[in-house]
Every structure is written in C-alpha cells, then in structure tokens.
Amino acid sequence: MRVDCSQFAELKVELAGYISEKLEGGAIALVQSGDIVIDWLSESPQYRSSVQIISLIQSFLTTKDLSGEYELNSFEDFIGIHLRGGIQIPKRSARKQPDLPPNVLRCAHCGYVTSDESALRLHERLHYL
Ligand SMILES: [Zn+2]
C-alpha cells in the first residue's frame, strides 16, 4: 500500500512514524521518495484495510490541526493526501447550463433555446423522427 505525500512532504516522516506506531507491529511504514510505503507484516486481512490507514491519517491530521486543510482519496492500494481544493473534478455538471433565465427553455438534445413551451415541444419532436 502506498500513500502519496507529494503535497504533504514536510510531515511525511512524522506521519510514517505515527502509522507504524499505531499499527503496533502489524505493518511498517517507510518513506520512499515522495510516498509512504506500508509493508504489512501480518497476513491477517484485518491489517490490510486501507480504511484503517485512512482513519489513522485522518487522526494524525486532526492532532496537527490540519484536517481542514487536507483531504484524502483512495483507490485500491493507493491513498492520496491532497490540499483541499487541489483535486480537479471534471465539471460534467457544466453542461446543465444553470444560468438560463427561468422563462427560457432549452432542448436537452441539441441546446436549442426558446421561450415558447409549445415551440420547444414541436422542436423536440424532430429528434424522435
Ligand atoms: Zn433539439
């Protein structure tokens, strides 16, 4: 398991020590280049949960009073520590066009705009021909 600390460089050594200590011999956490790599010493599956590591990182952030500044994401055996707001979320919702005035209707299929509801219905019928 790997924890990406590229945005958490100053505290990664301390965090690695914290994780090792809290896992009480179940694993060791080592700093390797920009990441913390967690080596599990036990084959027992309850020691292999990324949920457990995430909650340890969160409690570490809380003790440092940093929980408001960082957020965690995880994917399989990988956990990232990111400055809040640093993750680029694809703006799929931008297609919703929320800025239209309330009396303007937009065709969901092509973006055709009209203020006349019957005209829009007539227009939308074209897409089903
Ligand atoms: Zn249309």
Ligand 1 mean position to 2 CA, how many Å?
48
Residues by chain with Cβ below 5 Å of ion ligand 1: 107, 109-110, 112
Alpha carbons 40 and 28: distance in angstroms, whole number: 7
Alpha carbons 119 and 115: distance in angstroms, whole number: 8
Q: For tokens 């990406």, name the residue.
A: 4
Phi-psi map region of 73: left, alpha, beta (phi>0 left; psi -120 to 50 alpha) = beta
Ligand 1 mean position to 98 CA, how many Å?
18
Ligand 1 mean position to 126 CA, how many Å?
7
Its pTM stands at 0.61
pLDDT digits (tens, 9 = 90+) for 41-76: 766 655 567 888 999 999 999 999 999 999 999 888
The CATH code for residues 2-83 is 3.30.1360.210
Q: Where are the domains of the chain?
A: 2-83, 95-126
